[in-house]
Amino acid sequence: MSGRQSLQFFEHLRQTGRLAAVKAGDAGYLVQDPEGASPGSASQKRLWEVIDLPASDLADEAASFFEHERVTLQELLQVEPLAESFSSRFLRDTLMFPYQTADGRAALAVADPTDRAAQRAAEIVLRRDIMITVASVEDLSVVLDRRLGEDSAEPADATGQLVPREDDIESLRDLASGAPVVRAVNDLLEKAVELRASDIHIEPFQTGLVVRMRVDGLLRPVTAPAGVLPQALISRIKIVANLNIAERRLPQDGAARLRIGRTDIDVRVAIMPMQHGESAVVRILPKDRNLLVVDRLGFSSADEVKLRRLLKLPHGMIVVTGPTGSGKTTTLATVLSILNEPGRKILTVEDPVEYDIPGVNQAQVKPAIGLTFAAALRSFVRQDPDVIMVGEIRDNETAHVAIHAALTGHLVLTTLHTESAPAAVPRLLDLGVEGYLLRSTLRAVVAQRLVRQLCERCKTPKALVDADIAEDPRLGELGFRAGEVLQSPCGCERCGGTGYRGRLGVFELLEMTDEIRSLIGEKTDGHKIDQAAIRAGMTTMIADGIAKCRAGLTSPAELLRVTTAR
């Protein structure tokens, strides 16, 4: 629906004394920005959902205002329908009825004359110009029930699930390849690159399509493409990622390499069927080699020295831990870039391959054909590698194969989902790794989180006062005191008003010592390992984050958002 046309229609109702026709609570639609309408605005609601008039009166007003012919139920029941080229679901969702007039012209009876996207889709399906007529919501519902019949219903499979018709698929493919839809997807990708977004979330709801982009770890709403059918937008994304546009009942994953403006990017696409349509998440991976630089990760100078020393070890296992989205893959890719020398053979098995590193042999798991992490690892040890990277240890089998690869003279790098570095030890034991093997192979554990970095252009110094400490006692627990001056977010054009631009890691690096090895057994206590590591000089993530706050790199609020004291 065109937001501008809707607002003009609302204004017409007001001028004719029928402003009360706009539902209570929805009067705010009159002042929405038609060019940047947000979810829940008039541009994402149907006229009959917003205007509380009798269906017949609403159709009369719309036909008069938009200068279209008004048709009645009796007239629609007598015309020749052109519904065979459409899916019944599409016609019912859009409340449109295509038919042929007495003089042979193609016509489309609609309840909402401002829904140009649906009308354009009908033109593409019918492959000719169509005349728009207006009917009431009630009349269209009746005529669709009576005239569609069994022949135009979508077929179902043995489970009763609807199966898209072949002609519907072809029509959708044509629509998805049209200039408006292609332009809409390109605009979204360009916007994401401009904002440095890591993901685009395209989500269908009953009120319309919602688009959000993850910038510096947090989702930010953006304007959804106007005048584009959600099904066409999702189909275009499927085409780009080489997915099956006819499959709308099962999740799909795909990938593509694109050039957006002057930027080369890799995209990973995940499609998931939802209640109101298919949802798409597009992960964006810029081909920027400067990302894989240790200095950009945020390691303290002491931890960086430790890490570089550990990477010189000929064999053993180094584990990177943290929740999903904490930057583990980027850290491992950066470590591989350090190890990537002509004298070393490096093999990786990942799901998916996010960074393409020249000189490194990278494989992607394909469970459907039996290529799992464990299966790939077994083959890797026969490929004469020096370094093996396992994207993630998820099960007992992968853990055992990785441990034995480390025992047989390979340097093994991997990731694990744990809250802290010391927690990796009991987690590996829980996966079935024997304590004596872990004592022999584990060399270090790196735990990390990502915090947003303060915008260098607008961050401002601010002295803490007693009220700040009283409002959030955790500040006092972290060691901050009233009178201490810290940098705080302000907001400017460069950072989009958030006060933050970019992210950096907060880390803790646990290096195995004799004391820590002695604590590894059947009843390993993660808390005791934590205390032993701190005595041995480990800087916890909280301590690393506090140092970054005092250095003006991030804020206490951001640190508390991603970490917890222990």
pLDDT in tens, 466-496: 888 888 888 888 889 999 999 999 989 888 8
For strand 387-390 and strand 442-454, is the pairing parallel, antiparallel, or unpaired? Answer: unpaired
Q: Is 506 helix (H, G, I), strand (E, B) or coil?
A: strand
Q: What is the DSSP annotation of 6-28? A: HHHHHHHHHHTT-GGGBPTT-GG
- Residue 413 — φ and ψ, nearest 5°? -115, 135
The more confident residue out of 473 and 155 is 473
| Helix (DSSP H) and strand (DSSP E) numbers for the chain | 23, 20
Instruction: Please say whether the beta carbons of 211 and 188 come within 8 A.
Output: yes
CA-closest candidate to residue 499, choices 461, 468, 457: 457
Q: How confident is the model at residue 32 (pLDDT cuts 50, 70, 90)?
A: very low
Q: What is the pLDDT of residue 154?
A: 47
HEC string for 55-112: HHHHHHHHHHHHCCEECCHHHHHHCEECHHHCCHHHHHHHCEEEEECCCCCEEEEECC
CA-closest candidate to residue 221, choices 187, 183, 191: 191
**Does 554 score more than 70 pLDDT?**
yes
Which tokens belong to 170?
């072809």
The more confident residue out of 486 and 208 is 486
Q: Which CATH class is domain 166-286?
A: alpha beta
Considering the domain 294-452+503-561 in this protein, what is its CATH number?
3.40.50.300
**Does 59 score more than 80 pLDDT?**
yes
Q: How confident is the model at residue 158 (pLDDT cuts 50, 70, 90)?
A: very low
Among 42-46, 158-162, 205-209, 427-431, the least confident range: 158-162
Rounded to whole angstroms, the Cα distance separating 59 from 175 reads 28
**Does 286 score more than 90 pLDDT?**
no
Q: What is the pLDDT of residue 176?
A: 65
Q: How confident is the model at residue 356 (pLDDT cuts 50, 70, 90)?
A: confident
Rounded to whole angstroms, the Cα distance separating 466 from 470 reads 6
Rounded to whole angstroms, the Cα distance separating 97 from 133 reads 10
HEC string for 225-276: CCCCCHHHHHHHHHHHCCCCCCCCCCCEEEEEEEEECCEEEEEEEEEEEECC
Rounded to whole angstroms, the Cα distance separating 404 from 99 reads 70
| Sequence spans of domains, the chain | 1-147, 166-286, 294-452+503-561
Rounded to whole angstroms, the Cα distance separating 336 from 374 reads 20
Rounded to whole angstroms, the Cα distance separating 338 from 349 reads 18
1-147: CATH topology: GMP Synthetase; Chain A, domain 3 (3.30.300)
The residue-averaged pLDDT of 554-559 equals 93
Instruction: Please say whether the beta carbons of 311 and 339 come within 8 A.
Output: yes
Q: Is 516 helix (H, G, I), strand (E, B) or coil?
A: helix
**Does 153 score more than 60 pLDDT?**
no
The residue-averaged pLDDT of 422-428 equals 93
Rounded to whole angstroms, the Cα distance separating 507 from 217 reads 17
What is the residue type of 59? Answer: A
112-128: buried (b, 16+ CB within 10 Å) or exposed (e) per residue? bbbbbbbbbbbeebbee
- Dump pLDDT digits (tens) for 357-366: 889 999 988 8
- Dump pLDDT digits (tens) for 230-267: 888 998 999 999 898 888 889 999 888 888 888 888 89
CA-closest candidate to residue 141, choices 71, 87, 107, 92: 92
Q: What is the pLDDT of residue 24?
A: 41
Mean pLDDT of the chain: 84
**Does 21 score more than 60 pLDDT?**
no
